[in-house]
């Protein structure tokens, strides 16, 4: 060590790892200032997660909305790369946490980021004046990418999770739990997308949950963070199911099928 | 492909990915036979996770117990390698899902496996006849490893999460939600460990949650799986907090301190 | 902090991260005591990796053997879960390092551990007296597991990588680069396995490289470590190829095929 | 499955996994059209990796340059988050591949991406006319970010890896192995950065290796890909060293130091 680095102290080391999330002392675990024993048995998991991540407490209505988003995003089956990864990994002789990690790792910008991006989209619509600005904002996004995050689904003409989630948001608006601006923005985007098309392009699960995250005031990256928590449940369910199959080193198709070889014709 | 592999069909491929967790069809998402719209807004997250992973529904009392275990295990701060990893990873220019995956990946046999192993230990005590067999089973485990999973804590003389969790289990026994055999086994292990020592070796968070997982009938690997779900909340909270620090490529100590060089003296 | 933890110093922190691998100082990077500039342009990658991991230098003949093992293990195509994972992950909107990590993560006890286990098997044969003990050691392993690591291949009647690798080992024995005990042990295991069968059960890539790792004196976990380095090359090649495909969120089969639903019939 | 998805065939499934990297058939493993037995013992690891990833063969001079880049990037010690992660992960009861994966996963845009970004920077300078355009291109990059990838080092006034790597590139230019345009661009960037400063801002390891990757015609993401291969060696060395320490669940600092609690003052 040379002078140019100053003279660090043990306090500097402790500060390097400073956190407001959790304090420990012998016999003490506090989350955001709340002793853990005041949470255990007294707080539901969703409200506890909100506290840990955000530092404050949700109202019951807010917690119900967040819970609905988390329940709605748990799984969409093995066609999703994350789930296929979880199942294959579970047969490779690694821990269930490792199989889950390999899968969570694939929830990237295109596989797990649509909700996060849709929160940004909705924020942009709201910032631009709300529903009347939807068409313009959509046009700007469309110029940058062929994918409008949160709208339309490769598989579902109408995502079965859209309506129940939006109904809950609408009810929460009526109850005063959330303001409804982002819901209005999202519906206006749907309208803008439907113009001149034979069929609507309804919100998908990422869009409907983005409405919730946005209404609850979560910054965009936390939309992905909470989606990861939710999808981790499906990942666990599939990893566990596959680990009961007795397969070893499961590949992506039955071993009797060999991959084609050579450049695409 | 050669004859020795038979002639696979597209149905074989579909079967290769067979699952009982989730069924999708256009407009349909069903988890374990339940349409997702019947879960959204109607089921709490913990019960929904139970359904997805196990295929059946918990009673309200069972769900409360599982929820308490999940709330109690969320975080223990940055001294845990998983949390330190989450925080460092969050400064490296990767997605929040990737930071979470790096951290979840460290919840291995020694960092995340104590709950799983303690479920095995308790099952062994119960199988051997319950409380009276505790001393003998403990002795056998002690021969294999210096660590008895779920008991004692490097930092807490008495883990503050032990008492509230065990109190909930005791209450659930009284209510008939669980049978109490594994709770009795765990208390007997505590007694066996205290013999001849000046201080008790009380259950830690892994032990207390293992009692819950065991009472609820979860196979040992799912104790780790659910712990991963719970700790993922803390991992998210820390990754998110650190990502707001403005640091890039955070190392394990202030950059002014250099690692010692050379073999340990 | 309380007295029971003593009074740590900054030196304790530096010691906590003590290493003999690399020393840095302003203007200085030394690996195992060798300035990095004496390696760059002067040492081949395989010898440099040996130095970094083991702390000493290989002879040219030893380096050639290790290089052959690494060249031989690079890839076996997308039927391997690691490669399928790499390709799917590469389409999910994550960095190429993240795609590689998801794949490396699946090289567990059954997918990436056969070489490591085979090094243990060969060491056991050598310790039991060498070739004459092979039959007995094999019998003992067979009792514990239906898989004998390093021998036989699901797909190749005779793994095309066996003969060239073993020929190199034999030549290295003749040259005095290695002692040949583990090669003899492995050939004796092959003989023991062939007894009473219509067809031989020849070494596969894991067995042939295990002979090399064992002859070179690597402890078993490093056989897995070096295999990871080698397979990372294939993982990179496949991740990169797939990232040029234009696919997003590639699942395990064409989206027109849905996974079967329900328990196996 | 419904008509809207057409009728897939087994051939479609095989095509879904089409690759030009490796072909397998019983008794056959071919990489890029080359039987693996023609590589084992005949090709060095660096040339084999080039073949697998790019599909063609390097000249000996090109392979030497790539090798130097790989040797130069192996490790910079435990202050790098990736190395700290590898060491902590190795104590958590997971496989060495899992420890390596957690670490590789942190080589993201800011920790592992500088080489990739510097290749882009150099390509931009070359496309803008070469050395004379350096000042302008640098100014444009500076507007977007405070970090100019590949130049300057937090720790080394002059990175000891710069000179030997650039000397090799210069020699390769003289020998006609590479054209030298990107080397000229990088030196011009150095000059532009030095203007009006008391001290130069020399290329660091990422810049010097970026010159090599760019001269060799690698697209930017492969600069990261090859960096991952190189750093994986250091990751393995540190994971292995730490796994011999006997520690369990190593945190980021001695357990006697607790993280500070609360918001930064």
Tell me the ipTM for this assembly. 0.97
Q: What is the CA radius of gyration of chain C?
A: 22
Q: Do B17 and C252 touch (CB under 8 A)?
A: yes
Q: Answer yes or no: do C48 and C88 share one domain.
A: no
Q: Answer yes or no: do C100 and C217 share one domain.
A: yes
Exposure string of A39-65, with b = 16+ CB inside 10 Å and e = fewer, is bbbebbbbbbbbbbbbeeebeeebbbb
Report the C-alpha gap between C188 and C182 in whole angstroms. 10
The HSE-up count of residue B10 (CA atoms within 13 Å, CB side) is: 16
Q: Give D240-260 pLDDT, tens digit per residue.
A: 999 999 999 999 999 999 999
Q: Give C74-107 pLDDT, tens digit per residue.
A: 999 999 999 999 999 999 999 999 999 999 999 9
Q: Answer yes or no: do D51 and D127 share one domain.
A: no
Is residue C265 one of the residues assigned to a domain? no
Q: Do D102 and B85 touch (CB under 8 A)?
A: yes
pLDDT for res C3: 38
Q: Answer yes or no: do D168 and D222 share one domain.
A: yes
Strands of the sheet with C22-25, listed across from one edge: C22-25, C28-31, C34-35
Which residues touch B8 (CB under 8 Å, ≥6 apart)? A254, A256, A257, D10
Asked if residue C128 lies in contact with residue C112, where contact means CB atoms within 8 angstroms, the answer is no
Is residue C139 one of the residues assigned to a domain? yes
- Count CB-CB contacts under 10 A for residue D197: 8
Is residue A10 one of the residues assigned to a domain? no
Q: Is C194 on the interface with D (CB under 8 A)?
A: no
Which residues touch C262 (CB under 8 Å, ≥6 apart)? B18, B20
Q: Three-state SS across A224-250?
A: HHHHHHHHHHHHHHHHHHHHCCCCCCC
Q: Do C259 and B95 touch (CB under 8 A)?
A: no
* Rounded alpha-carbon distances, angstroms, from residue A231 to A72, A73, A203, A224, B38: 9, 6, 19, 10, 18
Q: Give A130-140 pLDDT, tens digit per residue.
A: 999 999 999 99
Q: Would you say residue B201 has pLDDT above 60?
A: yes
Is residue D73 one of the residues assigned to a domain? no
Q: What phi, psi does D24 have (nearest 5°)? A: -120, 145
Q: How many folded domains does chain D comprise?
A: 2
Burial of C195 per CB tally in 10 Å (0-12, 13-18, 19+): exposed
Q: Do A256 and B157 touch (CB under 8 A)?
A: no
pLDDT for res B88: 98
pLDDT for res D1: 33
Q: Give D13-42 pLDDT, tens digit per residue.
A: 999 999 999 999 999 999 999 999 999 999
Burial of C22 per CB tally in 10 Å (0-12, 13-18, 19+): buried
A contacts of C154 (beta carbons < 8 Å): 255
Q: Answer yes or no: do C168 and C208 share one domain.
A: yes
For residues D134-150, average pLDDT: 94
Q: Is B40 on the interface with C (CB under 8 A)?
A: no
Beta pairing class for C22-25 and C28-31: antiparallel
Q: Do B251 and D113 touch (CB under 8 A)?
A: no
Burial of C136 per CB tally in 10 Å (0-12, 13-18, 19+): middle
pLDDT for res B160: 98
C contacts of D70 (beta carbons < 8 Å): 45
Which residues touch D210 (CB under 8 Å, ≥6 apart)? D114, D115, D116, D118, D119, D121, D122, D149, D150, D182, D186, D223
Q: Answer yes or no: do C123 and C224 share one domain.
A: yes
pLDDT for res C6: 62
What letter would DSSP give residue B146?
Answer: S
B contacts of A98 (beta carbons < 8 Å): 105, 108
Q: How many CB pairs under 8 A join A and D?
A: 72
Q: Answer yes or no: do D49 and D101 share one domain.
A: no
Q: Give C175-228 pLDDT, tens digit per residue.
A: 999 999 999 999 999 999 999 899 999 999 999 999 999 999 999 999 999 999
Q: Answer yes or no: do C109 and C194 share one domain.
A: yes
* Rounded alpha-carbon distances, angstroms, from residue B240 to A74, B123, B236, D164: 21, 38, 6, 40
As a whole number, the mean pLDDT across chain C is: 95
For residues C246-259, average pLDDT: 96
Name the residue range of residue D45's domain: 20-57
How far, rounded to the nearest angstrom, does the alpha carbon of residue C154 sit from its chain's CA centroid?
19
Q: Answer yes or no: do B150 and B226 share one domain.
A: yes
Which residues touch C203 (CB under 8 Å, ≥6 apart)? C150, C151, C159, C162, C166, C186, C190, C211
For chain A, percent of residues with pLDDT exceeding 70 = 97
pLDDT for res D147: 86
CA angle, corner B260, sides to B259 and B264, nearest 5? 135
Q: Would you say residue A4 has pLDDT above 50?
A: no
Q: Answer yes or no: do B95 and B217 share one domain.
A: yes
pLDDT for res D146: 85
pLDDT band at B146 (very low <50, low <70, confident <90, very high): confident
Q: Is B42 on the interface with C (CB under 8 A)?
A: no
The HSE-up count of residue B43 (CA atoms within 13 Å, CB side) is: 24
For residues D215-227, average pLDDT: 98
Is residue A249 one of the residues assigned to a domain? no
pLDDT band at D6 (very low <50, low <70, confident <90, very high): low
For residues D80-100, average pLDDT: 98
Q: Is D34 on the interface with C (CB under 8 A)?
A: no
For residues B175-204, average pLDDT: 96
Q: Give A158-182 pLDDT, tens digit per residue.
A: 999 999 999 999 999 999 999 999 9
User: Which A residues 205-224 touch C at CB under 8 Å?
Assistant: none
As a whole number, the mean pLDDT across chain D is: 95
Q: Bin B35: left if φ > 0, else alpha if -120 < ψ < 50, else beta.
A: beta
Is residue D37 one of the residues assigned to a domain? yes
- CB-closest option in B8, B113, B249 to D93: B113
Among C258, C84, C250, A99, CA closest to B18: C258
- CB-closest option in A11, A20, A257 to D263: A20
pLDDT for res A146: 85
How far, rounded to the nearest angstrom, does the alpha carbon of residue C203 sit from its chain's CA centroid?
15
- Count CB-CB contacts under 10 A for residue A198: 5
Is residue A47 one of the residues assigned to a domain? yes
Which residues touch C143 (CB under 8 Å, ≥6 apart)? none
What is the signed CA dihedral for D70, D76, D82, D85, rounded to 10 degrees?
130
Q: Give A16-64 pLDDT, tens digit per residue.
A: 999 999 999 999 999 999 999 999 999 999 999 999 999 999 999 999 9
pLDDT for res A1: 33
Among A22, B217, B133, CA closest to D262: A22
Greater confidence, B85 or A145? B85
SS3 D31: strand
As a whole number, the mean pLDDT across chain A is: 95
pLDDT for res B6: 62
Q: Answer yes or no: do C227 and C160 share one domain.
A: yes
Asked if residue D18 lies in contact with residue A262, where contact means CB atoms within 8 angstroms, the answer is yes
B contacts of C264 (beta carbons < 8 Å): 15, 18
Burial of C201 per CB tally in 10 Å (0-12, 13-18, 19+): middle
Is residue B114 one of the residues assigned to a domain? yes
- CB-closest option in B79, B94, B108 to D94: B108
| Chain A: partners with 3+ C-beta pairs within 8 Å | B, C, D
Among C171, C218, C161, CA closest to C46: C218
D contacts of B91 (beta carbons < 8 Å): 81, 110-111
Q: Answer yes or no: do C129 and C225 share one domain.
A: yes
Asked if residue A231 lies in contact with residue B48, where contact means CB atoms within 8 angstroms, the answer is no
Q: State the best of C94, C261, C263 to mutate against chain B, taking most chain B CBs within 10 Å.
A: C261
B165, closest residue in chain A (CA to CA): A40
CATH of the domain at A217: 1.10.230.10
Among A252, C161, C151, CA closest to D29: C161
pLDDT band at A2 (very low <50, low <70, confident <90, very high): very low
Exposure string of C38-55, with b = 16+ CB inside 10 Å and e = fewer, is ebbbebbbbbbbbbbbbe
Report the C-alpha gap between D193 and D35 in whole angstroms. 49
* Rounded alpha-carbon distances, angstroms, from residue A167 to A68, B35, B41, D230: 11, 16, 9, 52
Asked if residue D37 lies in contact with residue C160, where contact means CB atoms within 8 angstroms, the answer is yes
């Amino acid at each position: 060590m040379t002078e140019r680095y100053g003279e660090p102290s043990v306090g500097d080391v402790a500060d390097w790892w400073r956190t407001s999330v959790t304090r420990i002392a012998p016999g003490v675990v506090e989350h955001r200032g709340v002793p853990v024993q005041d949470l255990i048995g007294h707080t539901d998991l969703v409200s506890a997660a909100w506290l840990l991540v955000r530092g404050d407490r949700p109202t019951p209505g807010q917690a119900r909305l967040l819970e609905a988003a988390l329940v709605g995003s748990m799984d969409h089956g093995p066609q999703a790369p994350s789930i296929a990864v979880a199942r294959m990994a579970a047969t490779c002789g690694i821990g269930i946490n490792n199989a889950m990690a390999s899968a969570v790792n694939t929830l990237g910008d295109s596989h797990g980021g649509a909700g996060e991006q849709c929160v940004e989209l909705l924020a942009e619509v709201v910032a631009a004046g709300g529903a009347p600005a939807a068409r313009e904002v959509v046009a700007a996004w469309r110029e940058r990418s062929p994918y409008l995050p949160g709208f339309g689904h490769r598989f579902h003409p109408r995502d079965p999770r859209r309506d129940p989630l939006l109904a809950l948001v609408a009810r929460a608006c009526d109850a005063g739990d959330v303001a409804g601006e982002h819901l209005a923005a999202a519906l206006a985007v749907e309208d803008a997308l439907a113009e001149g098309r034979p069929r609507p392009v309804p919100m998908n699960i990422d869009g409907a949950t983005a409405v919730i995250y946005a209404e609850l005031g979560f910054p965009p990256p936390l939309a992905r963070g909470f989606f990861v928590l939710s999808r981790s449940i499906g990942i666990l369910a599939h990893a566990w199911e596959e680990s009961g199959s007795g397969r070893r080193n499961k590949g992506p198709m039955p071993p009797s099928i060999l991959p084609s070889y050579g450049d695409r014709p």
